[in-house]
């Protein structure tokens, strides 16, 4: 053969091999139990590039030791295409998948196509949500995170590829599918592949998180994100947001009413009209409605409330922020307002410093950051978001910005509190990847209580917190059941932005705004107060569970499947929740007083009566309006505080400690000032409560000088 030809062939071979290797995914271990698989050439604008908090390496090192990757990493394949790139990940026959952020209309995601588009109005169960997260976790005990801000689609074992289908033709087609009628019969067409379609990118980083258990994989993802948030103690109390047009006099009148009536409300929120203009926002106090903002703030604080202000991200032409942000914003507007490019530190600093000087330093402790969720994508005539083709000074495009804006906005606001050594607990309407460290709960304009429950459980798989807020309702039972649902959630919020008076005085919006109160308004108010008091009594317990979120990445509110992965009966339970390690909550929906409750294996005790139930089965539970199904797990120690009306840095909780079962496991409470970040530097005590030999013991350790817990009584229940 001609030597030149051989040389030529050799060159072609080298180039081909080179391309092959360049395309072969590159695997690195980034932390104990976490692997990164670099596929092709990832984009620069991805969620990990804007992480504010560092991965918690020490905590990851404390997790169960993992010898090898939980899935065969060499089995992950990657391909670039003109439309973007695709990654295929293996699945076995039995594993089920959960996650993808605040999913709304589906729970077990195996067999579904999920497209992660930030949007407040979901369409079916295709994946649109206020808070999409490209992370899923498998019942096989591992998780997968795809580091992209694109409208990524996950085909979760839903679409067999040709090679796979060809092998399984018999199973997939001939058993059913012979006639047109078969098309409409439910049939499972299964694939053992998750195909991830990343449009617009020539590469992507995939992270695989080991378990061994499903909840460990979730914890590793949260620790990779920087650990969960530990909200201020007051944040775990009750929040009330008043009517959207309220002025100072109206707000103060209501705030005084709550104190007179001993309603334990800890945070008071103003809705839009504290500002001069709101769609878009000026971020300037309304001169007629709030002529003396300083005096207003000091009165609110004087009544022991924390003040929370509503706003959104789009900057109004007459706002002091308009000029400084003009050249740091996207090339499209929303309601004529600027869309600041929060990927840039400079933008975050300008926006943040303004809020810091004019609001936080004056006493505002939290914000409700609205409208960052590309609302309303589902309606062509409501352009409440910027186009996907928007361009931002950083090079970010509209699509990427939509999927990151919620998190970037949270970062911008939380950085203010961080640099002032303060904690916050705010509200946000959009979130996304790697958000666990942010002290915000998600809320929505949707209002179905069953859907709310599923959203909260789905949120728990990927570092998000969900607030099923209470607005006006359709009946007294509906109101009470909703308050109970909020009581056992990350945040008990009354969002009365559409009603002048509290919903317990009149649930009907029109009547409420005409000051026509219920005949039994006082009775309903008393019932609501009792539920709020239950919430206040749980604060030490909830705080301890949030501390586990912070230090161990363990979600404080979570789906049962995370704790009971070996029990396949939990895989479809999207209407019961673990509240911390020891409580199981199953709300009554639509004002009902009866429902089926599944209790996993082991003994359970009714939270109210202490009646014992044997788990591993379903029960029909019926209760009056004043109670809802809450069960305590066997062998738990549960501290219940005498409810206080608000929490501040000196609040001392008087505890009755209940030890359940034959072998109660200790619980460790966290004792600190509850509102600064000093705990991050070790300024806290652990207060370990143990039950042994028929008596309770308390062991306090740590440098914190104050005392938050006093034990009044121990009670053993078996």
Q: Give the whole-angstrom CA distance, residue 366 versus residue 426.
A: 5
Element (H, E) at 659: strand 653-660
**What contacts 523, CB < 8 A, 6 or more positions away?**
none
Minimum distance of ligand GAL from residue 317's CB (angstroms)? 19
Element (H, E) at 199: strand 193-199
Longest dimension (CA), the chain: 102
Minimum distance of ligand GAL from residue 430's CB (angstroms)? 11
Minimum distance of ligand GAL from residue 444's CB (angstroms)? 7
Token pair 């050594």 is at which residue?
A: 421
Q: Give the whole-angstrom CA distance, residue 691 versus residue 220.
A: 31
Measured from the CB atom, the residue of 43 and 271 that comes closer to ligand GAL is 271
Measured from the CB atom, the residue of 244 and 688 that comes closer to ligand GAL is 244
Q: What is the distance, to the nearest Å, from the Cα of residue 318 to the centroid of all Cα atoms in its chain?
A: 34
Q: Give the whole-angstrom CA distance, residue 659 versus residue 662.
A: 9
Residue 90 sits at φ, ψ, to 5 deg, of -80, 155
Minimum distance of ligand GAL from residue 494's CB (angstroms)? 11
| DSSP label at residue 348 | H
Q: Are 209 and 144 in contact (CB under 8 A)?
A: yes
Q: What is the distance, to the nearest Å, from the Cα of residue 716 to the centroid of all Cα atoms in its chain?
A: 35
Pairing of strands 492-495, 84-90: unpaired
Measured from the CB atom, the residue of 205 and 311 that comes closer to ligand GAL is 311
Minimum distance of ligand GAL from residue 241's CB (angstroms)? 7
Per DSSP, which regions of 96-225 are E strands? 97-101, 113-115, 132-138, 142-146, 153-156, 193-199, 203-210
Residue with CB nearest ligand GAL?
497
Measured from the CB atom, the residue of 205 and 271 that comes closer to ligand GAL is 271
* Tokens encoding 154: 């996950």
Measured from the CB atom, the residue of 308 and 365 that comes closer to ligand GAL is 308
Pairing of strands 653-660, 637-641: antiparallel
Minimum distance of ligand GAL from residue 443's CB (angstroms)? 6
| DSSP label at residue 64 | P
Measured from the CB atom, the residue of 244 and 346 that comes closer to ligand GAL is 244
Minimum distance of ligand GAL from residue 93's CB (angstroms)? 42
Minimum distance of ligand GAL from residue 469's CB (angstroms)? 8
Element (H, E) at 408: helix 398-419
Supply the Cα-derived Rg of the chain in whole angstroms: 26
Residues 162, 168, 171, 174, CA torsion sign: positive
Q: What is the distance, to the nearest Å, from the Cα of residue 224 to the centroid of all Cα atoms in its chain?
A: 16
Minimum distance of ligand GAL from residue 90's CB (angstroms)? 41
Q: Using CB under 6 A, list all residues that contact ligand GAL.
A: 244, 271-272, 310, 370-371, 445, 495, 497
Measured from the CB atom, the residue of 63 and 270 that comes closer to ligand GAL is 270
Minimum distance of ligand GAL from residue 495's CB (angstroms)? 5
Token pair 């305590």 is at which residue?
A: 632
Measured from the CB atom, the residue of 278 and 559 that comes closer to ligand GAL is 278
Measured from the CB atom, the residue of 458 and 495 that comes closer to ligand GAL is 495
Measured from the CB atom, the residue of 355 and 471 that comes closer to ligand GAL is 471
């Amino acid at each position: 053969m001609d030597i030149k030809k051989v040389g030529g062939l050799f060159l072609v071979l080298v180039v081909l091999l080179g391309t092959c290797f360049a395309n072969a995914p590159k695997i690195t271990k980034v932390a104990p139990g976490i692997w990164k698989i670099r596929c092709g050439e990832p984009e620069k604008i991805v969620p990990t590039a804007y992480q504010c908090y560092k991965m918690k390496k020490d905590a990851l090192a404390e997790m169960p030791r993992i010898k090898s990757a939980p899935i065969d990493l060499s089995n992950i394949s990657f391909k670039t295409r003109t439309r973007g790139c695709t990654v295929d990940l293996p699945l076995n026959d039995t594993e089920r998948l959960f996650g993808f952020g605040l999913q709304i209309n589906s729970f077990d995601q195996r067999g579904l196509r999920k497209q992660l588009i930030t949007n407040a109005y979901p369409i079916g169960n295709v994946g649109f949500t206020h808070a999409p997260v490209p992370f899923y976790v498998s019942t096989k005990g591992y998780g997968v995170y795809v580091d992209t801000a694109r409208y990524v689609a996950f085909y979760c074992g839903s679409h067999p590829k040709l090679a796979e289908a060809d092998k399984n033709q018999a199973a997939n087609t001939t058993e059913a599918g012979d006639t047109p009628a078969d098309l409409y019969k439910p049939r499972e067409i299964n694939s053992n592949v998750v195909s991830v379609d990343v449009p617009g990118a020539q590469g992507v980083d995939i992270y695989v998180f080991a378990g061994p258990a499903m909840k460990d994989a979730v914890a590793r993802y949260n620790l990779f994100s920087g650990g969960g948030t530990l909200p201020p103690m007051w944040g775990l109390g009750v929040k009330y947001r008043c009517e959207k047009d309220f002025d100072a006099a109206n707000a103060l009148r209501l705030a005084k009413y709550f104190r007179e009536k001993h309603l334990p409300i800890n945070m008071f929120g103003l809705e839009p009209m504290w500002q001069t203009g709101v769609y878009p926002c000026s971020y300037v106090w309304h001169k007629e409605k709030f002529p003396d903002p300083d005096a207003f703030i000091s009165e609110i604080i004087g009544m022991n409330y924390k003040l929370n202000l509503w706003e959104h991200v789009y900057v109004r032409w007459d706002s002091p922020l308009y000029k400084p942000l003009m050249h740091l914003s996207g090339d499209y507007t929303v309601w004529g307002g600027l869309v600041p490019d929060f990927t840039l530190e400079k933008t975050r600093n300008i926006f943040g410093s303004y809020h810091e000087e004019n609001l936080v330093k004056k006493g505002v402790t939290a914000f409700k950051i609205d409208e960052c969720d590309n609302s309303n994508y589902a309606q062509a005539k409501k352009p409440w978001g910027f186009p996907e083709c928007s361009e931002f000074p950083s090079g970010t495009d509209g699509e990427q910005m939509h999927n990151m804006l919620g998190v970037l906005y949270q970062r911008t606001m939380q950085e203010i509190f961080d640099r002032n050594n303060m904690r916050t607990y705010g509200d946000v309407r959009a979130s996304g990847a790697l958000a666990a460290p942010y002290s915000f709960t998600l809320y929505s304009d949707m209002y179905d209580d069953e859907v709310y429950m599923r959203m909260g459980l789905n949120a728990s798989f990927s570092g998000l917190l969900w607030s099923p807020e209470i607005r006006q309702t359709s009946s007294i039972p509906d109101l009470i059941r909703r308050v109970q649902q909020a009581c056992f959630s990350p945040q008990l919020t009354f969002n009365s932005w559409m009603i002048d008076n509290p919903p317990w005085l009149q649930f009907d919006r029109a009547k409420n705004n005409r000051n026509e109160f219920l005949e039994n308004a006082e009775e309903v108010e008393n019932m609501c107060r009792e539920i709020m008091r239950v919430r206040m009594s749980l604060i030490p317990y909830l705080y301890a569970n949030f501390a586990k979120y912070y230090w161990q990445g363990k979600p404080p509110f979570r789906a049962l499947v995370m704790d009971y992965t070996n029990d396949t009966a939990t895989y479809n339970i999207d209407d019961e929740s673990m509240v911390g390690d020891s409580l199981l909550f199953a709300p009554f929906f639509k004002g009902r007083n009866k429902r089926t409750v599944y209790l996993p294996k082991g003994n359970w005790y009714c939270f109210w009566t202490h009646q014992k139930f044997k788990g591993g089965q379903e029960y029909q539970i019926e209760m009056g309006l004043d109670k809802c199904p809450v069960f305590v797990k066997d062998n738990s120690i549960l501290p219940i505080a005498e409810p206080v009306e608000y929490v501040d840095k000196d609040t001392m909780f008087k505890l009755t400690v209940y030890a359940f079962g034959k072998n109660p496991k200790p619980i460790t409470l966290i004792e600190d000032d509850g509102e600064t970040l000093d705990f991050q530097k070790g300024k806290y005590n652990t207060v370990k409560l143990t039950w042994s030999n028929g008596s309770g013991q308390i062991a306090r350790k740590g440098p914190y000088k104050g005392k938050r817990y006093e034990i009044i009584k121990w009670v053993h229940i078996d």
